[in-house]
Amino acid sequence: MPTNDGSLRNYALSHDLMSMAGAPAVYHCHHFNLFLDQTIDDALGNTDGRKLRFAAAREASHDFLRGLFARLRPTTPAEKIQLATETIAKMGHGRLSISADANGGTAVGEFLHYGYGWAQKYGHRVRCRTPQDAFAAGFAAAALEVTFDLPPSVEAAETQCVAMRAPQCQFSLTKGAPAPRQTSLLASDVLRFARPAFDGQDEQQIATIAKGLRDFTGQVGGDERGLVQAFGVFVTMHLACYYNRIAYGALGELEKRAPTSVPVLESLLRESGHVCVFNTFGGILLSPEWEGMVGRPKTPREVVVGALAIARALGFGHWTLEDFAPNERLVVRAPATYESVYFLARHGKAARPNEYFLQGAVLAIAQLAHRVKWNEKVELTQEFYDSLFHGVVPWKAEQSKATTLGHEYSEVVVTKVA
């Protein structure tokens, strides 16, 4: 994704972890983004869910914007705000116009990824009753804080949202009580927790495809509305700390409030992996771009190899193929994932295997490899998704190793169930 100087996106190539202006980053589509946000609200309730999402967005954006300003050195407040909003638009989050000083102000959003994505996905069927752009709100708050060197104290309330059928999204920005400042988590911080990299089966092929995809995504940026439409979805380059903070933050909160509900949330976090693989991986595998670069997949193994390359190009980690027996078993290993390095850096050792996105994604790869007729006309509809993941799923996924438990690598084993 091109940015102002073309060098803000960086990959730690041995681990296929991505950063943007020094902040850990990954690509995810609007289906995943909406699903994960909804999952957090389902777990904590709308009010607390939104609070957590706002706080996560503000924290992650804080680190990102400090890195951005340090690299590109804008000087005046107006230059800083402009750089912040232009960069987030190039990352596919839509257009945000901020009119504010150190005491607060307003922001207007047009084509914001979450609100607009919600309207596109659900708006023709249901009316949304709550604003959807907690990420943009947190970003706007962080933009003010970093621009004016304030502690985390700016509150942003979304007063209108296109998902609620308003013509545009509007935010009020006010100064509140300073919140405790979280320790920064930059790419350099989390990468210290990556275990030594290794290769797996079909390594050369996976690496070559991943490189081609990285080169391709490097050419793609937000359009004049600040959206990236690619592979049949709206894509964002997003801050990985946002995803991790809301997922692990909601789990931590639920463990205190309602521990018996934790398995339900874990299951939904796994499902976010299904949503991502079905929509984004599926969209990529069916795209003309893939057909031209790689060729339409013909066998389950080609789907698996392609999917691992996609995961790497999206910045999810160095996902390797340890074992694959069609219709029987799929084993994926990684020395680090965007979940594991965050968890280790922020929380330390885990109590149980907890790379939920990885767990769900590997199961979904097995489903895509075996249950999609790639040589026929395929439509990635909600109905098709439901038929693949909400009926009888003939696979069981188990995370048998986790770097968050102290193992040398993370491993997910997917086996066929009778």
Partner 1 sequence: MKLSLDHGCLRGLSWRLEPASDGALERLRPALAGGWVDRTVMASVWHFEAREGAHQLVIVPSTGRLQLRVHYTVPRAARRSTARELARRLAEALGEGEVETDSEDALLAAELLGAQGDVVDPELDGD
- Give the residues lining the site for partner 1 (CB under 8 A): 31, 41, 46, 120, 122, 124-130, 216, 219, 223, 225, 227, 229, 232-234, 279, 283, 286, 288-289, 291-293, 296, 377-381
Q: How far is the CB of 95 from partner 1 (least distance, A)?
A: 13
Q: How far is the CB of 38 from partner 1 (least distance, A)?
A: 8
3-state secondary structure of 159: strand
CA-nearest of 340, 274, 336, 338 to 307 is 274
Greatest Cα-to-Cα distance within the chain, rounded to the nearest angstrom: 64
Run of H or E residues at 333: strand 329-334
The span from the CA of 352 to the CA of 96, in Å, is 40
CA distances from 252 to 40, 43, 52, 95, 351 (A): 12, 11, 12, 33, 12
The span from the CA of 90 to the CA of 232, in Å, is 18
Q: Among residues 256 and 377, whose Cβ is nearest to partner 1? A: 377
Parallel, antiparallel or unpaired: strands 95-101 and 9-12:
unpaired
CA-nearest of 283, 306, 321 to 210 is 306
Q: How far is the CB of 226 from partner 1 (least distance, A)?
A: 12
Burial class (CB in 10 A: 0-12, 13-18, 19+), 275: buried
Q: Is the dihedral of CA 12, 13, 16, 21 positive or negative?
A: positive
Radius of gyration of the chain (CA): 20
Q: How far is the CB of 158 from partner 1 (least distance, A)?
A: 14
Tokens of 64: 């990102």
Q: How far is the CB of 378 from partner 1 (least distance, A)?
A: 5
Q: How far is the CB of 266 from partner 1 (least distance, A)?
A: 22
3-state secondary structure of 7: coil
Q: Among residues 256 and 373, whose Cβ is nearest to partner 1? A: 373
Q: How far is the CB of 87 from partner 1 (least distance, A)?
A: 21
The span from the CA of 156 to the CA of 138, in Å, is 7
Q: Among residues 204 and 219, whose Cβ is nearest to partner 1? A: 219
Q: Among residues 79 and 289, whose Cβ is nearest to partner 1? A: 289
In the block, tokens 């960069």 appear at 87
Q: Among residues 149 and 224, whose Cβ is nearest to partner 1? A: 224
Q: Among residues 352 and 377, whose Cβ is nearest to partner 1? A: 377
Q: How far is the CB of 149 from partner 1 (least distance, A)?
A: 37
Q: Among residues 296 and 329, whose Cβ is nearest to partner 1? A: 296
The span from the CA of 359 to the CA of 88, in Å, is 29
Q: Among residues 5 and 379, whose Cβ is nearest to partner 1? A: 379
Q: How far is the CB of 161 from partner 1 (least distance, A)?
A: 12
Torsion of CA 316, 13, 222, 120, to 10 degrees: -10
Q: Among residues 142 and 228, whose Cβ is nearest to partner 1? A: 228
Q: How many residues does the chain have?
A: 418
